[in-house]
Structure 1
Amino acid sequence: MAAVNTTVAPTGTPPSRGDRAGRRPALRRDGRYASVFLTPSLGGLALFTLFPTAMALGISLFDWPVFGERTFQGFGNYSHLLHDPVFRRVVLNTVLFVVLYVPLNVVVSLGLAVWLGPQIRGRQVFRVLFFIPVMTPMVANVMVWRLLFQPGGLIDGGLQSWFGIDAPNFLGSSNWAMPAIVAMSIWQGFGYNFLVFSAAIDQVPQSQLESAQIDGAGPLQRFRYITWPMITPSMFFATTMTLITSFQVFAQPFILTQGGPGVATQTIVMYVYNQGWQFLQMGLASAAGWVLFVIIMGITAIQFVGQKRWVNYDV
């Protein structure tokens, strides 16, 4: 009787050529199914994002009035933006908004998320309350804050009643208009990052925090050495998304101040809107839009490179 080979292949042995050949039809079939399901999304991405982006790049190279002759200018529109003092001021306004808004948004969101830790009762109610401004339409929020900021409004009336002083002309002063827009934007937008941070803090093992507390670590030490390293991925996500959206700020200054006084609160997106829909210069508007695109992509790239030094994915 022939001997039977009972040798078992060691674990981790790569599949044979026959097994790989047998898997190929299944992989091709799965790939076809995936293509069918992805086609609507990819079609929408190409039609509503990639194509308009490419068209904007092409238009930015032309003197493209809505009505009139269109002529090729090359980088003439970009040269005009470089030497336009209004556009330089607009860029500085946008950077100032980002510098003020992003750190304050993150600090307020993180502080409230830490305060409403898992040990707080009724925290679900606070989560809903803090997120309500995010769900409320931006225009409605801005109109309410416009009533608060205007002379004779709630803030002005409260200061006169309680302290006998007049509030500054928040929306009519070049010194106060941008801080007023930042304050309104923080109130409207902190709830999103608050939920992100709150969810990340919920994932921190309570056993580690309790062990550190038993060893004598105080609240700040527990946050610094245990909580903070574990929520850095969420911090990276929140700061990156907040940076991107803050560079695109439009509704708040457009409704609150119309970019004024003068151009003190005009942002890059407002400049694009004005050039495209008020002055009907689509070439210049497209060039300004691409400048904003490059700025956002550069800041995002710096974020992704720098996150290797402070984001901890190993916990």
Structure 2
Amino acid sequence: MLRPTARHTRSRQTLRRGLTGYAMLAPSMIGILGFLLAPVLIVIIVSLFDWKLLGTPRFVGLKNYAKLFGDEGVGHSLLVTVGYVLICVPGTTILSLLLATLVNRKLKGMKYFRALLVIPWMAAPVALGLVWGWIFDPARGAINSFLGLVGIAGPSWLSTPELALPSVAAVHVWQFAGYNMLFFLAGLQNIPESLREASALDGASAVRHFFTITLPLLRPTLLFVLITNVIGSFQAFDTIYVMTEGGPGDSTEVITYHIYHQAFERFDFGYSSTISVALFVIILAVSLAQFAYFERRTTYDVS
């Protein structure tokens, strides 16, 4: 009887380890395929059809995409979305970085304060929309009631086209600032204390230390926060739907609300899928641009 050689034994061990690894990855892979890749593929396929949900889908090829470029409603909602993103992303990033710097201290009870800052992110967006809708209420809202105490007549925050979008964007910033603070806090705590001591010995002020040492070392964290903020801002829907329903007029009709309008009010699932594909391409392009920008900055800094 032939005994297995050392090579065959190693091969079987390698195969066994490989099968074990794939078995452990299987649940995650099934989840990715079933809940991420498959829906994306289905949306792309549906975008090639004229489908009113109740009727039979009719293949139209790229006609929905041709319609997309001449749709003024899509153009307007995209501009509203860009404005929303330009408010939310800088606001959330700057506020979360300031909060992380504030709570990165070894003080008694600080961990409870950090937990309080994260609670808004854990709350349901619909519930937040209802609460903030009451806070912004022009007659009985908390904000205008406070302004009335100092003799200021508060405006109709959600009924004025110029104020509605900044108002709902402020809710987004408030909701996600604490969550993003956690990432900046982790990045700050990974920076060696010796660097701060060395810069202090060199006579660097706290502001100079922050911009010349802390901020460059936080670049990977900053990239992650910016990308997730951009994606989250482009996909915002729940709070806007509850607070304004895209109004007044169409001043807060972001692209996701326009997709909802096409799909569940006009029942044009083919065209709404086309807009969804366009949104996916836009988000992908913006994310890749951010990756390229940060990679180029890192290359210049190294050189």
TM-score in same-fold range (> 0.5): yes
Letter in 1 for 2:115: V
Deviates more, 1:123-132 or 1:40-49: 40-49
Letter in 2 for 1:251: D
Letter in 1 for 2:164: A
- Which residue of structure 1 aligns with residue 124 of structure 2? 137
Query: How do residues 145-160 of structure 1 correspond to structure 2 at under 5 angstroms?
Result: 145-152=132-139, 153-160=141-148
Query: How do residues 213-292 of structure 1 correspond to structure 2 at under 5 angstroms?
Result: 213-292=200-279
**Are the counterparts in 1 of residues 120 and 176 from structure 2 also a CA contact under 8 Å?**
yes
Task: Find the aligned partners of 2:273 and 2:247 in 1 and give their Cα distance.
Answer: 23
Letter in 1 for 2:147: L
Deviation at 1:307, TM superposition (A): 1.6
Deviation at 1:111, TM superposition (A): 1.0
Letter in 2 for 1:302: A
- Which residue of structure 1 aligns with residue 34 of structure 2? 47
Task: State the SS of the aligned residue for 2:218.
Answer: helix
Task: State the SS of the aligned residue for 1:130.
Answer: helix
Task: Give CA deviations for 1:121-173 in whole Å, capped at 9, x if unaligned.
Answer: 432122111111111111111111100111111111221221x2221111111
Task: Find the aligned partners of 1:179 and 1:91 in 2 and give their Cα distance.
Answer: 16
Task: Find the aligned partners of 1:72 and 1:101 in 2 and give their Cα distance.
Answer: 39
- Which residue of structure 2 aligns with residue 9 of structure 1? none
Deviation at 1:207, TM superposition (A): 1.8
**Are the counterparts in 2 of residues 112 and 194 from structure 1 also a CA contact under 8 Å?**
yes
Task: Find the aligned partners of 1:99 and 1:28 in 2 and give their Cα distance.
Answer: 51
Task: Find the aligned partners of 1:169 and 1:19 in 2 and give their Cα distance.
Answer: 80
Out of 9, 28, 32, the residue aligned to residue 19 of structure 2 is: 32
**Are the counterparts in 1 of residues 99 and 178 from structure 2 also a CA contact under 8 Å?**
no
- Which residue of structure 1 aligns with residue 51 of structure 2? 64
Deviation at 1:120, TM superposition (A): 4.3
- Which residue of structure 2 aligns with residue 299 of structure 1? 286
- Which residue of structure 2 aligns with residue 122 of structure 1? 109
Query: How do residues 37-116 of structure 1 correspond to structure 2 at under 5 angstroms?
Result: 37-116=24-103
Out of 184, 192, 212, the residue aligned to residue 179 of structure 2 is: 192
The reply to whether residue 161 of structure 1 matches residue 136 of structure 2 is: no
Task: Give CA deviations for 1:161-214 in whole Å, capped at 9, x if unaligned.
Answer: 21x222111111110000001111111110111111111111111122112112
What's the RMSD between the two structures over aligned residues? 1.9
Task: Find the aligned partners of 2:233 and 2:28 in 1 and give their Cα distance.
Answer: 26
The size of the alignment, in residue pairs, is 296
Deviation at 1:50, TM superposition (A): 1.7
Task: Give CA deviations for 1:291-310 in whole Å, capped at 9, x if unaligned.
Answer: 11101111111111112133
Deviation at 1:77, TM superposition (A): 1.1
Unaligned runs of 5+ in 2: none
Q: TM-score, normalised by structure 1?
A: 0.89
Relative distance call for 1:19 and 1:241 in structure 2 (3 A) is farther
**Are the counterparts in 2 of residues 174 and 261 from structure 1 also a CA contact under 8 Å?**
yes
Deviation at 1:226, TM superposition (A): 2.0
Relative distance call for 1:214 and 1:93 in structure 2 (3 A) is same
Letter in 1 for 2:270: G
The reply to whether residue 208 of structure 1 matches residue 191 of structure 2 is: no
Task: State the SS of the aligned residue for 1:175.
Answer: helix
Unaligned runs of 5+ in 1: 1-17
Deviation at 1:250, TM superposition (A): 0.3
Deviation at 1:72, TM superposition (A): 1.6
Task: Find the aligned partners of 2:6 and 2:262 in 1 and give their Cα distance.
Answer: 62
**Are the counterparts in 2 of residues 118 and 202 from structure 1 also a CA contact under 8 Å?**
no
Deviation at 1:38, TM superposition (A): 1.9
Task: Find the aligned partners of 1:128 and 1:310 in 2 and give their Cα distance.
Answer: 34
Task: Find the aligned partners of 1:201 and 1:232 in 2 and give their Cα distance.
Answer: 11
* % identical aligned pairs: 34
**Are the counterparts in 1 of residues 100 and 185 from structure 2 also a CA contact under 8 Å?**
yes
Task: Find the aligned partners of 2:115 and 2:217 in 1 and give their Cα distance.
Answer: 24
Deviates more, 1:177-186 or 1:122-131: 122-131
